[in-house]
């Protein structure tokens, strides 16, 4: 029995050692190695590992010309994976380090688009909705001739419609809980809105959300 136990322990040690060697961290590799690893992990849809490889690239090669491409590659990958907070992290880093007149409008539009796509249900993140409206208006003011202007204007129109319906829902909620003063504040916002006279078709809400979100 003792021999069997020794053999089992030895096997486990060998297995653990083998796994450890596979997962062993690698240091001081060329920038191209880390860049290729990032691309490989994105292709494998393992964004957590791709982020880890980016950390190695950024820490070991702080001035590498591959960094801006890696940032944008990861930003797009996180947008595709609907991880908008992480996408915005890379876009913010890109703007801080590599933003210029030639590319700032593109990167800022990507941030707006990431925020817009982050809330399929605007009622659940009012502050993000309002912040993105401000950001989009600021974008249109700063980059009036940007090729992304029509897309930003479309996003702004949809955001403002979302804000209008949100204010309607909040007003109705205050009416239902018998808070007329609060309801009046939102009624005034609705009257001041340029969308008040527009014939807007309210978006359909799935039945399982309608109990919570519809009027």
Instruction: Determine the Cα–Cα distance for residues 148 and 157; give it in Å rounded to an integer.
Output: 14
Contact 50, 41 (CB under 8 A): yes
pLDDT of residue 12: 43
Contact 92, 79 (CB under 8 A): no
pTM of the model: 0.71
Residue-level length of the chain: 215
pLDDT of residue 21: 44
Contact 61, 31 (CB under 8 A): yes
Q: How does 173-194 read in b/e, with b if 16+ C-beta sit within 10 Å?
A: ebbeeeeeeebeebbebeeebe
Structural fold of domain 29-91? 1.25.40
Q: What is the pLDDT of residues 45-98, one digit of tens each?
A: 999 999 999 999 999 999 999 999 999 999 999 999 989 889 999 999 999 999
Q: What is the pLDDT of residues 102-126, one digit of tens each?
A: 899 999 999 999 988 887 655 567 7
Spell out the residues 6+ positions from residue 26 whose beta carbon is closer than 8 angstroms to its own: 56
Q: What is the pLDDT of residues 130-187, one digit of tens each?
A: 899 999 999 999 999 999 999 999 999 988 888 888 888 888 888 888 888 888 888 8
Domain ranges of the chain: 29-91
Angle separating helix axes 126-142 and 149-176, nearest 10 degrees? 150
């Amino acid at each position: 029995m003792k021999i069997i136990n020794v053999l089992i322990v030895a096997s486990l040690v060998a297995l653990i050692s083998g796994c450890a060697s596979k997962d062993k961290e690698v240091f001081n590799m060329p920038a191209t190695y880390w860049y290729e690893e990032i691309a490989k992990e994105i292709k494998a849809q393992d964004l957590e590992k791709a982020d880890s490889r980016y950390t190695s690239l950024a820490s070991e090669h702080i001035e590498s010309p591959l960094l801006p491409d890696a940032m944008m590659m990861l930003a797009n990958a996180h947008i595709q994976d609907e991880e908008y907070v992480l996408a915005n992290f890379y876009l913010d880093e890109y703007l801080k380090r590599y933003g210029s007149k030639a590319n700032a409008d593109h990167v800022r539009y990507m941030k707006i688009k990431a925020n817009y796509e982050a809330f399929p249900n605007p009622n659940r993140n009012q502050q993000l909705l309002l912040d993105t409206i401000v950001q989009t208006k600021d974008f249109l003011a700063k980059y009036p001739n940007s090729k992304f202007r029509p897309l930003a204007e479309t996003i702004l129109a949809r955001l403002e419609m979302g804000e209008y319906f949100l204010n309607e829902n909040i007003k109705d909620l205050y009416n239902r809980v018998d808070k007329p003063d609060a309801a009046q504040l939102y009624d005034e916002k609705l009257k001041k809105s340029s969308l008040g006279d527009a014939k807007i078709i309210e978006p359909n809400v799935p039945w399982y959300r309608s109990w919570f979100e519809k009027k």
